[in-house]
Amino acid sequence: MNRVPEILLCVVLGVVALPFFLIACLIVVVSVGTPLMFSQPRCGRGGQIFRLFKLRSMSAARGPDGALLPDEQRQTKATALIRRLRLDEIPQLLLILRGHMALVGPRPLLLETIESFGTEGQYRCSVRPGLTGWAQVSGNTRLSNTEKLGLDLWYVAHRSTMLDLRIMAETIGVAIWGEHRRIDRIEAAARWLQDHPPAKTNLQGSPA
């Protein structure tokens, strides 16, 4: 998607989402306390590192061994709903305006995760990471890491404005009706990856 319509959409989404975001902030403070935000360095286009921000939806509760408890034990029903509705991702609209992220693209991952993908990680980073993406509307948490990577690589090869608009529309559906594994998309991505293994690319990638 071109930057001008992307910026305009971000502004509109920000205005519409602001009241819901403020309510979500209040819920987070009451449910899991402060700090309000979670932040972490993530890998962007061309391997550039930026700091990702999102509304915190889990507490820092730990077990007797000092390790963090599983995600489902560290969130409340209210914060789980915030995650499902993607309200915790609203701060990333600012990152899109700054050019670190896009409305649609592979989700931003840790640098070490990208490096573990090798050439496929470089290809994945040839576009800006997105607020939502093909993997997120094709199963998301119901997918294996291998399936997510395959869907991300398929998206990078087939991205277009129409596909981006379709993904944004489907993201609303996922928020309302929940996540469902799209076997057809998973298999199509696997077939494409088998026939078109990503060539080794320069980490600067292609503009997007």
Q: Is residue 180 part of a domain?
A: yes
Name the amino acid, one letter, at 86.
R
Peptide linkage before 35 cis (omega within 30 of 0)? yes
pLDDT of the residue at 203: 43
- Is 207's pLDDT higher than 90? no
Report the C-alpha gap between 207 and 183 in whole angstroms: 30
For the segment 84-110, the average pLDDT, to the nearest whole number, is 96
Q: How many domains does the chain have?
A: 1
User: Are 55 and 32 contacting, i.e. CB atoms less than 8 angstroms apart?
Assistant: no
Q: Which residue has the higher pLDDT, 74 or 16?
A: 16
Q: Is residue 203 part of a domain?
A: no
Comparing CA positions, the residue from 130, 90, 82, 91 lying closest to residue 107 is: 130
- Is 200's pLDDT higher than 80? no
Q: Tell me how far CA of residue 195 lies from CA of 22, 154, 188, 191, 192, in angstroms.
A: 47, 11, 11, 6, 5
The continuous run of DSSP H or E covering 144 comes out as none
For the segment 164-182, the average pLDDT, to the nearest whole number, is 95
Q: Is residue 201 part of a domain?
A: no
Report the C-alpha gap between 165 and 156 in whole angstroms: 15
Report the C-alpha gap between 165 and 188 in whole angstroms: 20
pLDDT in tens, 16-65: 999 999 999 999 999 888 899 999 999 999 999 999 999 998 888 888 88
- Is 205's pLDDT higher than 90? no
pLDDT of the residue at 51: 97
Q: Is residue 119 part of a domain?
A: yes
Report the C-alpha gap between 61 and 58 in whole angstroms: 8
Half-sphere exposure of 158 (CA within 13 A, CB side): 18
Q: Is residue 55 part of a domain?
A: yes
Q: Tell me how far CA of residue 71 lies from CA of 7, 51, 58, 83, 174, in angstroms.
A: 33, 22, 7, 12, 20
Report the C-alpha gap between 106 and 149 in whole angstroms: 9
Structural domain of 161: 3-195
Residue 155: exposure state from Cβ atoms within 10 A (0-12, 13-18, ≥19): buried
Q: Is residue 207 part of a domain?
A: no
| Global confidence as pTM | 0.88
Contacts of residue 12, defined as CB under 8 A and 6 or more positions apart, other chains included, come to: none
pLDDT in tens, 117-168: 999 999 999 999 999 999 999 999 999 999 999 999 999 999 999 999 999 9
Q: Is residue 208 part of a domain?
A: no
Report the C-alpha gap between 114 and 105 in whole angstroms: 15
